[in-house]
Amino acid sequence: MAMSPDPDTKSNVRVAVTATAVIINLVVILILDEIYGAVAVWLTELEIPKTETNFEERLILKAFLLKFMNAYAPIFYVAFFKGRFAGRPGDYVYVFNDYRMEECAPGGCLIELCIQLSIIMLGKQLIQNNIFEIGIPKLKKLYRTLKDKDRAPEPSENEGPQSKGPQQWNLDYDLERFEGLTPEYMEMIIQFGFVSLFVASFPLAPLFALLNNVIEIRLDAKKFVTELRRPVAVRAKDIGIWFNILSGMGKFSVIINAFVISFTSDFIPRLMYQYMYSDTGTMHGFIDHTLSYFNVTNFKTGSSPIATQYGHEVTVCRYKDYREPPWASDSYQFSKQYWSILAARLAFVILFQNLVMFLGVLVAWVIPDVPKNISEQLKKEKTLLVDVFMREEKEKLQLIQSLFSKDPPVQALALAHAHAGAQLPDLPRPLQQTPLRPGDLSVTTSALPRPRARAASFSQFTRQPSMSPQNEAAKHTAV
């Protein structure tokens, strides 16, 4: 393409080379993802965690860090390192004394960053999150079916017609075993990083993430219903360590986007030129302002270009940087414009970060986690619960006081009912109003229902209620 006589083809050489390199990089990322997953499991097993929860949290943290670096390292390189340490004409930086450091296009690294981010994000979602999720379980199911088919015994002649054909439990056994929700969470976290960390350089990332999630919802539904065994439900308090990871990435994305806007793009240099260096207050002359001068006689021996495309001899050339001209006393040193733009970039990072953090705190304060009506309802439930508890305690106290004021037979009967947890039956009026005679005791007590005998102690009436979450839930249910 570089040797093509067509000027349009020559102009697209850099884009084609960048896209090809990113596609190769995508294949390497997909391969390393599987390797890093196995490495995370191996490292976690070396630690020998004491509990299953501790093991899962350490495994998730290690797998996230490894896959984070694997997915975002090329993007971080293009955004913040490529072209920053390449040097200048006459003093380039060489690796192994033969290879020059890579530089961005004359327009900057933002376009290359956008290309890299779009190809890696779309390729990773399409290949790893969609094709692998459906294809790999199908291949494993096919392999297991063929393997079990060779080992299956031949049906005998004595078996009836109902025994022919596989049973449902055999079909379910052929399905792939459910490995948990950690891979699903990891996909969403990596996608969240693509959307939030570099959204300033690729604004279409949220749209592509939405389209991918709409498709993946249906693919996951098909996978869970037809390709995987039924998962075992486990009660969980929250999403665990994933919440801390999401919270950290949200704060980290604010800083990354601030650096992308200020250092990767030309947003700050353009503003500085328009309001500080331009004579007309416009962008006219901005390109000439960003170019520095270089005298070709200052090339090192053997590093100057062999031929030129111009018909005359070139003595001075221009390159993109803020440096002093060769005729200055401190030639090729950073100029005052460079330091002023650097100060403006750092000030923008600090201002942008604090502004976004303040807005986040303000939104969290305006929109509480628990709505006001729900919090008021919870307060009312607690008040009613306290009233019911106090009423029950008051009834118990009255019952105890009545035990010492009534006759002994009625006292024993009330005490037995109190121990059994039942209410006192409605006593006949003569029993309530007139004193009992000794001969009437057996008849009266036999007419009443006999409570179930059980061991009792005075601690039943004096025990304080437990404040455990189980008792709290039980009391809510009772109310």
85 and 101 Cβ atoms separated by less than 8 Å? yes
Residues of 58-92 as b/e, b for ≥16 C-beta within 10 angstroms?
bbbebbbebbbebbbebbeebbeebeeeeeebbee
- The larger pLDDT score, comparing residue 175 to residue 450, is at 175
- The larger pLDDT score, comparing residue 174 to residue 79, is at 79
Evaluate if residue 195 carries a pLDDT over 50. yes
pLDDT in tens, 199-216: 888 888 899 999 988 988
Percent of the chain surpassing pLDDT 70: 77
Q: 8: pLDDT confidence band, cut at 50, 70 and 90?
A: low
Q: What average pLDDT score do residues 36-61 get?
A: 90
**Per-residue pLDDT, 198:** 85
35 and 70 Cβ atoms separated by less than 8 Å? no
Q: What average pLDDT score do residues 335-361 get?
A: 92
* DSSP 8-state secondary structure symbol assigned to residue 454: -
**Per-residue pLDDT, 4:** 56
- The larger pLDDT score, comparing residue 437 to residue 474, is at 437
If you write DSSP's letter for every residue of 109-156 in order, what string do you get?
SHHHHHHHHHHHHHHIIIIIIIIHHHHHHHHHHHHHHHHHHHHSPPPP
**Per-residue pLDDT, 104:** 79
Q: How many Å apart are CA 173 and CA 448, to the nearest integer?
A: 61
Q: Which sign, positive or negative, has the C-alpha torsion 102, 107, 109, 111?
A: negative
**Per-residue pLDDT, 98:** 78
Q: 7: pLDDT confidence band, cut at 50, 70 and 90?
A: low
pLDDT in tens, 288-322: 888 888 888 888 777 777 766 666 777 888 888 88
Q: What average pLDDT score do residues 66-92 get?
A: 87
Q: 455: pLDDT confidence band, cut at 50, 70 and 90?
A: very low
Evaluate if residue 439 carries a pLDDT over 50. no
Q: 66: pLDDT confidence band, cut at 50, 70 and 90?
A: very high
pLDDT in tens, 210-265: 998 898 888 888 888 888 888 888 888 888 889 999 999 999 999 999 999 998 88
**Per-residue pLDDT, 434:** 45
Q: What average pLDDT score do residues 187-202 get?
A: 88
Q: Can you name the residues that pair with 334 across neighbouring β-strands?
A: 323
Classify 302 as helix, strand or coil: coil
Classify 184 as helix, strand or coil: helix
**Per-residue pLDDT, 433:** 43
**Per-residue pLDDT, 451:** 44
CA angle 54, 58, 59 (to 5 degrees): 115
Q: 388: pLDDT confidence band, cut at 50, 70 and 90?
A: very high
Residue 125 CB neighbour total at 10 angstroms? 22
Q: What average pLDDT score do residues 57-76 get?
A: 91
**Per-residue pLDDT, 16:** 82
**Per-residue pLDDT, 462:** 41
**Per-residue pLDDT, 157:** 55
Q: 181: pLDDT confidence band, cut at 50, 70 and 90?
A: confident
- Owner of token pair 């619960």: 385
Integer distance in angstroms from the first to the last C-alpha of the chain?
79
**Per-residue pLDDT, 40:** 92
Q: What average pLDDT score do residues 431-437 get?
A: 45
Q: What average pLDDT score do residues 166-183 get?
A: 78
pLDDT in tens, 409-429: 555 555 555 555 544 444 444
Report the predicted TM-score, pTM, of the whole model to 2 decimal places.
Answer: 0.69
**Per-residue pLDDT, 475:** 38
Evaluate if residue 447 carries a pLDDT over 50. no
Nearest to 191 by CA among 221, 216, 225, 223: 216
**Per-residue pLDDT, 479:** 34
CA angle 108, 114, 118 (to 5 degrees): 160
Q: 384: pLDDT confidence band, cut at 50, 70 and 90?
A: very high
Q: How many Å apart are CA 286 and CA 160, to the nearest integer?
A: 89
Q: Can you name the residues that pair with 294 across neighbouring β-strands?
A: 317
Evaluate if residue 342 carries a pLDDT over 90. yes
Question: If you average pLDDT over every residue of the chain, what do you get?
Answer: 78
If you write DSSP's letter for every residue of 38-99 in order, what string do you get?
HHHHHHHHHH--SSHHHHHHHHHHHHHHHHHHHHHHHHHIIIIITTTSSEETTEE-EETTTE
E strand residue ranges, 134-216: none
pLDDT in tens, 92-122: 888 887 788 888 777 778 888 888 888 888 8
135 and 143 Cβ atoms separated by less than 8 Å? no
Residues contacting residue 113 through CB under 8 Å, at least 6 positions apart: 75, 78, 79, 198, 201, 202, 260, 264
Nearest to 335 by CA among 300, 289, 299, 276: 289
Evaluate if residue 75 carries a pLDDT over 60. yes
**Per-residue pLDDT, 367:** 86
